[in-house]
Amino acid sequence: MSAPLEQQQIQTIQQYNAQKRYEYLIKEVLQNKEIWLLVDEHGCVMLNTDEEDCVPVWPNKEFAQAWATDEWSHCQPEPISLEKWRNRWTHGLEDDELSIVVFPDQNSEGLIFFPDEFDFELRPKKKFVPKR
Strand boundaries in 19-114, DSSP class E = 34-40, 43-44, 47-48, 53-57, 76-81, 99-102, 111-113
Q: Would you call 121 helix, strand, or coil by DSSP? A: helix
In whole angstroms, what is the distance from residue 94 CA to residue 97 CA?
5
Burial profile 56-94: b = 16 or more Cβ within 10 angstroms, e = fewer = bbbbbbbbbbbbbeeeeeebebebbebeebeeebbeebe
- Chain segment 15-59, per-residue pLDDT in tens: 999 999 999 999 999 999 999 999 989 888 898 877 889 999 999
Rounded mean pLDDT of the chain? Answer: 89
- Chain segment 100-120, per-residue pLDDT in tens: 999 998 888 899 999 999 999
Q: Identify the CA nearest to 57 among candidates 17, 31, 83, 28.
A: 28
Q: How many residues does the chain have?
A: 132
